[in-house]
Chain A
Amino acid sequence: MSFIDTALNVLSNVVLLLGLFFVFVGMIGLLRLPDVYNRLHATTKVATLGAFGVMSSIVLNVGFTPIGIKAITVGLFLLLTAPVASHMIGRAAKRHGVELCEESVIDEYIISGETD
């Protein structure tokens, strides 16, 4: 019993550190990448996975108490809404007239006539 507790504790700390590392890497990507679309790649995928990892480590440590259940809710909510938000920002940026960066190799986007 005590061995299982220790193993869960170590596992949850490792997952917590991994999650914090991923969130930090996402913010560095926000700083370094060249234009809006590439920055969306960094924040949507990396930072969301990091936040989900932190919430999972809290669940592993406290079990199904109210804190754990709310942590599951927050993690799933972030995982479900991040793609929708990034899609909305990307579409608005493209229609607003933000150009791709100089390294881009292909652009097949056609703005449709009706705004719908």
Chain B
Amino acid sequence: MKRYIYYSIPLGIMWCFVHGTINIENFLLGSVLGIIVIRPFRELYHFEEELSFKRAIGKIPNQIHYFMVLIVEIIKASIMVAKIVLSPKMDIKPGIIAVPLRTKTSGGITAIANTITLTPGTLTIDVADDRSVLYVHSIDASDPESIRKSIRDDLEKFVLEAFE
């Protein structure tokens, strides 16, 4: 029962946002509907794992820091790609690079793949079967070692702090 409440709070907030007015009645209605929706899909929600409210709340400051870093990176990435698109003579050196990973959980891999897609010049293509290597397409792959180093040192640190 505790898990149903834990997972129905985000669904209630989402109901408020989709409805367009934020108040307590809409939140309660969304939470009740969320419990009904979670029931048939409970295999997707990992009911066998241990969960605690205190740990989830303690991660929130790290996640806010992570989203601030992410927004700055997205703006830098867009300006870089826009410069490449608008330059009259296009000289690009694209390629696919294998990047080794440290994190092993599904949530961590999802977060780092989405982060890589939204940062300058890189795009996740695939994950290897044993979850140890991430294949990344880069728009400027003339120096693979520096790309591997920047992903390992700058991005994976924030993701490990926020989602593990």
Contacts and interface: CB of A to CB of B under 8 A. Distances in A.
Tell whether A pairs with B: yes
Interface of A: 22, 25-26, 28-29, 32-35, 37-38, 40-42, 44-46, 49-50, 64, 66-67, 69-70, 72-73, 82-84, 86-87, 90-91, 94, 100-101, 103-110, 112-114, 116
A55 B84 CA distance: 25
Contacts of B98: 108-109
B86 A112 contact: no
B5 to A, nearest CB: 23
B6 interface: no
Contacts of A87: 113, 117, 123-125
B22 interface: yes
A44 B97 contact: no
Contact of B95 (A33, A44, A100): A100
Nearest to B124: A87
Contact of A116 (B17, B121, B125, B129): B129
B117 A25 contact: no
A21 B121 CA distance: 20
Given A32-B85, A116-B129, A106 B20 contact: no
Among A28, A66, A104, the one with the most B-chain Cβ atoms within 10 Å of its Cβ is A104
Contact of A41 (B126, B128, B139): B139
Contact of A37 (B18, B90, B94): B94
27 contacts: A29-B82, A34-B90, A37-B125, A38-B92, A40-B137, A41-B81, A42-B85, A44-B123, A45-B74, A45-B81, A45-B118, A69-B20, A82-B117, A83-B114, A83-B117, A83-B124, A87-B123, A90-B125, A91-B126, A100-B95, A100-B96, A103-B94, A104-B94, A104-B96, A107-B95, A109-B96, A109-B126
